[in-house]
Amino acid sequence: MAFSTEDPKFAEFRQLFAKARSVLVLTGAGVSAESGVPTFRGSGGFWRKYQAIDLATPESFAKSPSLVWEFYQYRRELMATKEPNKGHLALVEAEKRFEKEGRRFVILTQNIDGLHRRAGSSNLIEMHGMLILHLKILCTSSENIGNLFKTRCTSCGFVEENKNNPICEALRGRGLPDVETGSDIPVADLPLCRQCQSLVRPHVVWFGEALWPDVRERIDKEIAQCDLFLVVGTSSVVYPAAAYASIISRLGIPVAEINIESTPSTSDSTGPSGELLPILLAPSVDEAL
């Protein structure tokens, strides 16, 4: 189900949403794009000559940790200038209302920018940024989540939050998207572990890495109990998230999608999530307009 507010499917979704007891929302880069966060995909989605899939991999980090850290330094600096948008806030309001009504509203996000959490979402699964508890990774934060502002030691596994800008002196001014600076920073000058002085990496799940077991278990649990699935701002091409809509649909659970571009899950586009979510998720259409 893909729709606009003028489409008959809009009213159909509103009816389903009103009756739903457990809503699961999958969000992707398109949600944050409306806050000005680059997706690093498609035409124009480049940092220097690279897209995210070129750099956010363990192989790229092994080949050139300097280049990958320059990319992440840019992303860290960029996120300090961005704020949650109306789509993020509409999801927060829906979650609060569902909680008061004894219903369940969960966000499953592919994003690592932290905007959902900054907006106020608490019933949140960050697919690419949660801590693997059973691997006994040490964590200095009270929350078992990872994102752009956490690092993990490649040697001892120590995890900590780091919001320093730049994250290390050698990366000062080195993340500029339109400047090729050589990407030749020695490992000894890159971000290092406070525990063992080994190289650290961003504490996120990269392309080619499996989702962490505790994340998979919680996702499976939420899929099993949801009675409405909403897909927002995701290309539906990165697995395993790309498979969730078809899996849930085969279970007979309604699936709705909001995207500014057509995807493999739908033949047409709908519109910006920042415009549609406040209307779709409001207590009533009249209150939202």
Query: Would you list which residues are annotated within the binding site?
Result: 28-47, 72, 75, 110-113, 153, 196, 233-235, 259-261, 273
Phi-psi region of 127 (alpha: psi -120 to 50; beta: other; left: phi over 0): alpha
CB atoms closer than 10 angstroms to residue 44: 8
Q: Give the span between the Cα atoms of 261 and 215, in whole angstroms.
A: 28
Pairing of strands 104-109, 124-126: parallel
E strands in the chain: 22-27, 104-109, 124-126, 150-153, 159-161, 200-202, 228-232, 255-258
* Cα 5 → chain centroid: 26
Active site residue 128: yes
Whether 51 and 86 have beta carbons less than 8 Å apart is answered as: no
As annotated, the binding site for substrate includes 72, 75
Angle at 81 between CA 89 and CA 59, to 5 degrees: 100
| Among 88, 116, 128, 203, the one annotated catalytic | 128
Q: Residue 95 is encoded by which pair of tokens?
A: 């979650």
Residues labelled as active-site residues: 128
